[in-house]
Chains A and B, each alone.
Chain A
């Protein structure tokens, strides 16, 4: 593509080449649509690329990197086009997608026009502002995942993980597999909302009930009986071991230490309600601290458009109101994946397949796959029920709230 050529026209532009976007691109292209996927990364696959966990369903490894390569290949084989290293920064009804090339060297069109646009921009991490968090060596848990599983560089030799959720535990395990010494997994500072031992356990507890047999097997030794017992009891144990890594359920981070880079962290014991216990302060020497404070749906591209949003803690943040078949209130604008709620890659992929059915239908493309979106929407609800893990146990409740908001708003304008 030459720099002078500034506009290209498509049936569908997909913003975000994660599992949701790539799956939708594959299906719409297979139905004969002219599809372009844009992603700001150098490689397609989104957050899927960095994922590595043992699949509790059959103890095989969930290798995101391979799955991402396959998803990209399938979409390309179906006829979808791909552009990497490009950021979509604006949307104008009609639709025009404005592009910029931040690497400063990959010239391409400055805008794409399209009959339909799918926003599949995924999620980002909620920041955890704590003293010392700007020091080199202090990073998000997601950065640690990307470094370890994609770039294969250790985030540190001795690492402290701060924050306990499904993601942080999974990534701690991935670091350990890669030879990193994970010296501890502790709670966020008491100033961070919902970080007390009791609140943390109560957030994790419903997940153990979700699909108990499978959940307990998550990652093999991840959730043994002591853990489940701890979840069930009112007492918060001091430490549980997970693959030999200490999960310090009654310890909070105080500050991250260092001058030029991280050299350690100050910790303190806390009561079950999160009150620091005087005299229990201590220091641990580490060269990296990984902060986990949950994920938030990324959908700021839609913020300037004339559609309504709903705030849902169950979904991780604010999401655009949409139908259960993933249509937004705007003609030709669709959403899928973590941009509408924090869930696993398997669900994002299913949402991609579902939204493709809606797009194929609305654009009048013929689908070789056939299928009805309403049926697929119901399947999605079923899939959520049997998922081996959820980021939030109440995610379906969040989607139900969105559905009610959609119906109340009268749907598509």
Chain B
């Protein structure tokens, strides 16, 4: 789903930051929010809503709706549409008990 060879905009640098989401490895562009990396890899579902038990993904894309929240390194909930990965981060839909 990556856009390359855009007729107006210059190409972006290649993927280089490694992280995992629900245990699966992904490579992100520096500074790109995890939701964008995941969508580029065909992953739309970021979590399951706790009450209705329905899948949720990117909705507003600008940090306003909190639909995209995921767990970062099992200790903080972050908005996947804003938060870039740093090398070695692990993101997950659910928090796991240790």
Partner-B contacts on A (CB < 8 A): 40-43, 47, 52, 61, 63, 65, 85, 102-104, 124-125, 133-140, 142-149, 151-155, 157, 177-179, 260-261
Contacts and interface: CB of A to CB of B under 8 A. Distances in A.
A152 B33 contact: no
Contact of B7 (A145, A157, A177): A177
* Chain B, interface SS category: loop
Contact of A146 (B9, B31, B61, B83): B61
A143 B60 contact: yes
Interface residues of B, number: 40
Contacts of B12: 152
A149 B60 CA distance: 15
Interface in B12-27: 12
Contact of B61 (A133, A142, A157, A177): A142
Given A63-B9, A136-B55, A151-B33, A142 B60 contact: yes
B32 interface: yes
B68 to A, nearest CB: 9
A147 B80 CA distance: 13
B61 A140 contact: yes
Given A139-B60, A142-B62, A261-B55, 16 more contacts: A42-B83, A47-B62, A61-B8, A102-B78, A103-B82, A134-B49, A134-B56, A134-B67, A136-B55, A137-B44, A140-B61, A143-B59, A149-B9, A151-B32, A153-B1, A153-B39
B78 A136 contact: no
A143 B57 CA distance: 11
A104 B75 CA distance: 9
A177 B8 contact: yes
Contacts of A154: 1-3
Nearest to B36: A151
